[in-house]
Amino acid sequence: MRIIKGHEFGGERPLYCEKDLRLENVVIHAGESALKETARIEALNCRFEGKYPLWCCDGFTVRDSILTVGARAGIWYSRNGLMEDCIIDAPKTFRECDGMTLRRVIIDSAAETFWSCRGGLLEDVRAERADYIFMHCSDFKISNFHLQGNYSFQWSRNIEISNSILDTKDAFWECENVTVRDSRISGEFLGWHSRGLRLIRCHIGGSQPLCYASGLYLEDCTFDSDADLALEYSDVEATILGHVRSIKNPRSGSIKVGSVAELILDSNIKAPASCKVETGYGE
């Protein structure tokens, strides 16, 4: 493996098509596509300032490094990447990627990040300003994830999330086969039009959660005081601990809840209108 230490690069494609390359304390200045069409790249204590630094890269490891604001759209069409103890300050990182693993990564400007990516692992990751993160993604396992940003995980499928804090409006719309465990989810209009969404021991906040859902499953979840008009037109099997402000027109299934201030079953309920609601659960 060729090793480059302490150098600075800039301009257009300075390391184009390199293979088996290790970078240590290297700075990539303004320019484009520094490591495009590369393979088996290692970067340690590096700084990426130019656009599109890791496009079409087959196998890379980046540790203790930073992608600055200028490194926007940083990692697209790449495979088998590992990032550990890094900071990403640029938006639109990770598009059409396969096999990305992130550990102890902070993404300070995560808007439109992780689009159409497949097969990933995230551990101890924080994403801020993360509107439209994880659009059309599949087969991810995520733990200890702190998310602040709206419209997350829309049209995603086969996702597992645990021990996380998700501050996100309009999350999990049109998602399929998503499971969230032991997490806190706050934000309006959670999980609308989802299919096979499973929430296990989660705390749910925000108005009108979990409406128009099919195959919805809740196990021993709790609801915040602002979570009103829940479960409208949903097919649901749920056990809910504690109090719920209001439940409106669930379509079918079964809901067992500690207590509910208002159960709305009106003329607008949709067939088969067969959902059974029982109070006193967990008492």
What is the C-alpha to C-alpha distance for residues 236 and 260, in angstroms, rounded to an integer?
A: 16
What is the C-alpha to C-alpha distance for residues 170 and 239, in angstroms, rounded to an integer?
A: 23
Residue 152 region, left (φ>0) first, then alpha (ψ -120 to 50), else beta? beta
In the predicted model, what is the mean pLDDT of residues 270-278? Answer: 97
Give percent of the chain above pLDDT 90. Answer: 99
Q: What is the value of pTM for the model shown?
A: 0.96
Mean of all residue pLDDT scores within the chain:
97
Question: Domain-by-domain residue ranges, the chain?
Answer: 1-143, 150-283
Q: What is the pLDDT of residues 96-136, one digit of tens each?
A: 999 999 999 999 999 999 999 999 999 999 999 999 999 99
pLDDT, position 126: 98
pLDDT, position 283: 81
